[in-house]
Structure 1
Amino acid sequence: MSSTESKLTVQKSSDWVPKMLAWVDLKFDYFGYFTSQEIDYPSGGFHHVLYAGIKAVTLEQLDELPSDKPKVGILSYDQKNKYENLSSQNKAWISCPDSLFFSPELTILINKNELTIEGTSPDQILAEILNTQVSSERKTGDFTIDSSHDEESYKAIFKKIQGHILEGDIYELNYCMDFHGTVSHTEPINLFLDLCENSPMPFSALFKAANLYLCCASPERFLKKQGQTLLTQPIKGTIKRGKTQQEDEDLKKQLAESEKEQAENLMIVDLMRNDLARIAQTGSVKVEELFGIYSFKQISQMISSVICRLPPSIGFEEIVSQTFPMGSMTGAPKVKCMELIETYEKFKRSWFSGSIGYIDSNGDFDFCVIIRSLIIDRTKNSFYFGVGSAITIDADAKAEYQECLLKAASLIKTLENFYSNFNNPN
């Protein structure tokens, strides 16, 4: 903290978060708000914190930011093109930067009962936030939504991908479809708050970069570094929640005992073990938990945890260059899958299936996978999101298509609840 900055700790009121987000949206071009929604998660979720800044750089320019301050950033899936001989030529529904990082001019740390404002003139900041007017009334509006696939077109691509598996090109591929559309008016903060209510997740985040917004409700961690320990937690395996406690337990048991889901999960665990081994101290890569079952509001998922010990002095950019993107969003082998993804998917993933998070002043960091998330362009009143599932030789096209729709449900519900009129062009 510079000599002009100071701290102020105060009691938190119930309406603090909406007021804070509305105020920071008016004052800053860049901000990242992170919360775990107090959800129990192995090794914890995001800290509850807001960072706001005024200048952004690319990942390759990270050293230009102050070394004694946190760094907040986002990586597009297309950042992969800097690490492998790959390209991204598909249609971009919204043009997003490959990477963007900033250091905060303002930090607000939030816990259950109080919050701490760190920045210049925190008393004035507090007063302005408390005086910010947040209306409980929503404008009447409408939205349109379209998708890259119906069930038949999805099945056609599914069959081609399984052909590559039969030919020995790949073992598993995470194929994604997109939903995209327009809205009559753009309210990213209210959409994010509604999404948090519909789908509370341990890696919830609202990120602003000028006129672009990410409303993220992710259940999946990409990488977390604490000291010299690096953790990754791939997800493969999804099932709906039951309507009764018994049905829910039966469904979770079905997921836990599914040989297909275990096989998918294990392939990605092996992929991530190989990724970590590229940067880890020799012999330090370990599977901390295999096939853990964790439940969220809408779904239960199979999550594994892989850790390693890092050598001294390895930096964030080098770690990312050897591990990005998350293997659960590509498949195995990784590079061949990314080539086929470019061939068969109908949209440019951009921020979807990339990563967002923060690096503290000590170099520790926590980044999630951008899934179950809306990407919004305020200037065009447009949005898109992606959903996907793993295609293996044993997978069933109808079941995988339904899994994609299940993952899209909370996002579509958020849009339907927020806008009173809904129009599907199909």
Structure 2
Amino acid sequence: MMMELKLYLKSLEGDTKTPITLFKNYVGKEKGFLLESRDEGKGRYSFIARNPFAELQGKGEGIIIREGSQVTIKQGNIMEAVRAYMSKFTVKNHSSIPFIGGGVGTVGYDIVRQFEKLPSPNKDTIQVPDVHLMFAKEMIAYDHFHQQIFIMVLEEDTEDGEKRAESKMKLIEEAIKKDEPLEPSAEFIPSFRNLTSNMTKEEYMQKVEKAKVYIKEGDIFQVVLSKRWILETDEDAFNLYRKLRRVNPSPYLFYLNFGEYQVAGSSPEMLVELRKDKVYTCPIAGTRKRGKDEKEDEILAEDLLSDEKECAEHVMLVDLARNDMGRIAEVDTVKVTEFMKVHYYSHVMHLVSLVEGIKKKEEDAFSVLQSFLPAGTLSGAPKIRAMEIIDELEEEKRGIYGGAVGYFGFDGDMDMCIAIRTMVAKDGKVYMQAGAGIVADSDPEKENEECENKVKALLMAVE
């Protein structure tokens, strides 16, 4: 049965609040999410919700949908189950706020096995769902430009629906007016023990050499080989997120508390975004560490732009993004609107491009996402053979790493970043992962160093 929903809005002055204080006072330690950004374009709104009205988890072909006390268990294709569940709701977004409710969460790297013929031989160390979404009909949006808070409730467009919405908005307003003090994140001294990796430097370098053999034999042009770091900690995951967002501000910042585990990240890279009919993807490939000052940054940026290996790798991945876009976009609408520009982040600089297209009428958010998973910048090219080699060399399932984090909106829009620079906190451990793109002339030591540079911001959040 289709549920038609209306957006009910209430605005409050927000100049004394921040997304962090709103989350702490409204959500606390309950299930919920915080989506933020430190990007000039994306950074206008932050989104906060607690106690989702529904959750969908999928692993392999097993699917669990929880709505309050009702639990539905089924078998099948996970993304089809998400599409079917979300098709029960329809809502028109007449506001300028880009996200007004829907499913927020993770779509892991291994979901690709549902639509590509790939073996699944590796051990699943972290044991989290392939897809995990929290569905929100009550949310807070924080407008950074105007320092306003919007309380958003989706309810039926009836008198009773309006009364329920007003009651819910009143409860949310009371919750966010609490003003409990927060310890500054700079003062955190997280306790962590036993930092280990699933590969030594020597093991990683040996695997790079194996990957180069596959490249020379013509199996692939490139493969992204990653390694994982694990540490033990008793620290609250939200505190780690607070420190991470400070030491590594990024276009995509997120904290997801699923109850049994938490995901905190500061991803620099869009996977794919759908706004009405327009589709965007933003391949990032080519890396240098940041300099000590602006002058050294300029020298390193020039070195990056003149590096034939890095530029060739970037061009290949832009072509792969155009190919992914071409599968779901109308003919002649695929365009590269920004090409190989240097973007600066807290610890590294990257080469970045932007590819756009207009989706075909028969495509939707789910088929669009499927076309781009996994990102070429996290697999290699050609994708399928690269993923087979990743399975062989990495020996553990990636889980969330290399997949996507973001939302599917009830209005049909979607925004997903790549799950990199991301921590998964579960059972007293924090898992972090980083990779490097291996090509024919890769230097194994430099590729290992690139992984270590990328994970540095995450390690700073736990130091």
TM-score, normalized by the shorter chain, greater than 0.5:
yes
| Shift, 1:14, TM fit | 4.6
Unaligned runs of 5+ in 2: 58-78, 92-100, 154-164
Find the counterpart in structure 1 of residue 56 from structure 2: 57
* Matches of 2:53 and 2:343, distance apart in 1: 38
Instruction: Tell me if 1:73 matches 2:94.
Output: no
Q: 1:366 to 1:409 in 2, by over 3 A?
A: same
2:236 to 184, 187, 191: 187
Is the Cα–Cα contact under 8 Å of residues 177 and 346 in structure 1 kept in the other structure?
Answer: no
Q: How many residue pairs get matched?
A: 409
Instruction: Tell me if 1:369 matches 2:367.
Output: no
Is the Cα–Cα contact under 8 Å of residues 18 and 134 in structure 1 kept in the other structure?
Answer: no
The secondary structure found in structure 1 opposite 2:453 is: helix
* Matches of 1:399 and 1:20, distance apart in 2: 42
| Shift, 1:139, TM fit | 7.4
Find the counterpart in structure 1 of residue 271 from structure 2: 222
Q: 1:413 to 1:225 in 2, by over 3 A?
A: same
Counterpart of 1:87 in structure 2: which amino acid? P
* Matches of 1:354 and 1:47, distance apart in 2: 23
Find the counterpart in structure 1 of residue 36 from structure 2: 35
Q: Percent identity, please.
A: 26
Is the Cα–Cα contact under 8 Å of residues 330 and 360 in structure 2 kept in the other structure?
Answer: yes
Q: 1:335 to 1:46 in 2, by over 3 A?
A: farther
Bigger RCO of structures 1 and 2 (CA < 8 A, at least 6 apart): 1
Counterpart of 1:363 in structure 2: which amino acid? G
Counterpart of 1:54 in structure 2: which amino acid? F
Larger deviation, residues 128-137 vs 263-272: 128-137
2:440 to 375, 379, 393: 393
1:115 to 149, 152, 157: 149
Is the Cα–Cα contact under 8 Å of residues 213 and 375 in structure 1 kept in the other structure?
Answer: yes
Within 5 Å, which residues of 2 pair with 1:197-346? 197-346=246-395
Instruction: Tell me if 1:91 matches 2:123.
Output: yes
The secondary structure found in structure 1 opposite 2:384 is: helix
Within 5 Å, which residues of 2 pair with 1:384-423? 384-416=431-463
Query: Aligned-pair RMSD on alpha carbons?
Result: 2.2
* Matches of 1:91 and 1:133, distance apart in 2: 43
1:125-144 Cα shifts (integer Å, max 9, x gaps): 23223326354175773332
Find the counterpart in structure 2 of residue 424 from structure 1: none
Find the counterpart in structure 2 of residue 128 from structure 1: 175
* Matches of 1:49 and 1:401, distance apart in 2: 36
Unaligned runs of 5+ in 1: 417-426
Counterpart of 1:61 in structure 2: which amino acid? A
The secondary structure found in structure 1 opposite 2:257 is: strand
1:164 to 210, 214, 227: 214
What's the TM-score, normalizing by structure 1? Answer: 0.90
1:294-345 Cα shifts (integer Å, max 9, x gaps): 1112211101111122111411222222221111100000000000100000
* Matches of 1:199 and 1:228, distance apart in 2: 32
* Matches of 1:45 and 1:90, distance apart in 2: 38
Counterpart of 1:390 in structure 2: which amino acid? G
What's the TM-score, normalizing by structure 2? Answer: 0.83
The secondary structure found in structure 1 opposite 2:374 is: coil
| Shift, 1:13, TM fit | 4.5
| Shift, 1:370, TM fit | 0.6
| Shift, 1:3, TM fit | 8.6
| Shift, 1:255, TM fit | 1.1
Q: 1:3 to 1:403 in 2, by over 3 A?
A: closer
Is the Cα–Cα contact under 8 Å of residues 122 and 396 in structure 2 kept in the other structure?
Answer: yes
The secondary structure found in structure 1 opposite 2:424 is: strand
Is the Cα–Cα contact under 8 Å of residues 4 and 90 in structure 2 kept in the other structure?
Answer: no
